[in-house]
Structure 1
Amino acid sequence: MKKIVLLSLVFSLVFACQEPERRCPDFKTGTFTFEEFVGGELKQTTFVRNDSIEIDYYDQTIDTFSIRWINDCEYIMKNLRPKNQSEERPVHFKILKTEGDTYTFEYSMVIKKNKASKRYVRQGTAKKVSEATSRN
């Protein structure tokens, strides 16, 4: 009986220490949706991303961003046509885990490090709704 308890404890520890699945290259390109509450209302963003450009469709607005991949799971996104100083700041994205056709990510503004600066990190989940299509 002690062996069974010890064996189950070992298996529990092994499985608890595993990192979440991250098939990040599967999510570098395609069409995605992302939902979040803004001012108490659920809003949806649809975005189309290829390796270096992302086009976001949000609340009757279209924005275009450049994408610079740091590694397979992290990238920096920068607005190509910022309308104000806040939109000029790049945003850092990191894919935390993938599951089926969704990925969980965290994102934050890229700001210069100094003692007075704070980094606000938010999380979200995006769903891949279709693969990238090539332009002919």
Structure 2
Amino acid sequence: MKFCYAFLLLSMFSCFQTTRNCSDYRTGEFYSEVTIDGETYTSKFKRTDKLQIETYNSKIDSSSLRWINDCEVVFRTINPKNMAERKDIHLKILTTTDSSYTYEYSYVGETKKQKGVAYRMK
């Protein structure tokens, strides 16, 4: 009887696997939404395999990319203007759909993470 309950429990969890087709989002044009303390911030960016150019509040930032695997990347600001911009950012894609992905990010070495959603523009 215990075997039946264990099988039923495992069957239930296998139905809720998250989809991660991360390689579909390695390059392209996107816009992103992040909510911090109840306020939503948006940005647009274009990503190649080694470079990301982002526009936020009419400012353009460029970062070099180092892919750890298909779902994780580290960003390094190319021309940092202050100490905060000198910190690398680690981003991990958590789930994907046919037109978006959910991600979490943080400064490398820090435990506090933020979540956001990026949508494909084209």
Between stretches 16-25 and 84-93, larger displacement belongs to: 16-25
CA distance in 2, matches of 1:81, 1:98: 31
Determine helix, strand or coil for the equivalent of 1:78. Answer: strand
**TM-score with structure 1 setting the length:** 0.77
**How far did 1:37 drift?**
3.9
Give unpaired runs (5+ residues) of structure 2.
none
**TM-score with structure 2 setting the length:** 0.85
Between stretches 72-81 and 36-45, larger displacement belongs to: 36-45
Query: Cα–Cα, structure 1 residues 40 and 105, in superposed 2: closer, same or farther, change >3 Å?
Result: closer
Q: Is contact 2:73–2:90 with CA below 8 Å preserved after alignment?
A: yes
**How far did 1:43 drift?**
2.9
Q: Which residue of 1 aligns with 2:13?
A: 16
CA distance in 2, matches of 1:39, 1:19: 29
Q: Which residue of 2 aligns with 1:26?
A: 24
Between stretches 48-57 and 35-44, larger displacement belongs to: 35-44
Q: Which residue of 1 aligns with 2:82?
A: 84
Q: How many residues end up aligned between the 2 structures?
A: 117
Moved over 6 A (4+): none
Task: Please report the RMSD computed on the Cα atoms of aligned residues, expressed in angstroms.
Answer: 2.1
**How far did 1:129 drift?**
1.0
CA distance in 1, matches of 2:49, 2:121: 17
CA distance in 2, matches of 1:41, 1:106: 17
Report whether the alignment pairs 1:122 with 2:122.
no
**The one of 70, 74, 92 aligned to 2:68:** 70
**How far did 1:39 drift?**
7.0
Q: Is contact 2:65–2:76 with CA below 8 Å preserved after alignment?
A: yes
CA distance in 2, matches of 1:39, 1:124: 13
Q: Is contact 2:76–2:87 with CA below 8 Å preserved after alignment?
A: yes
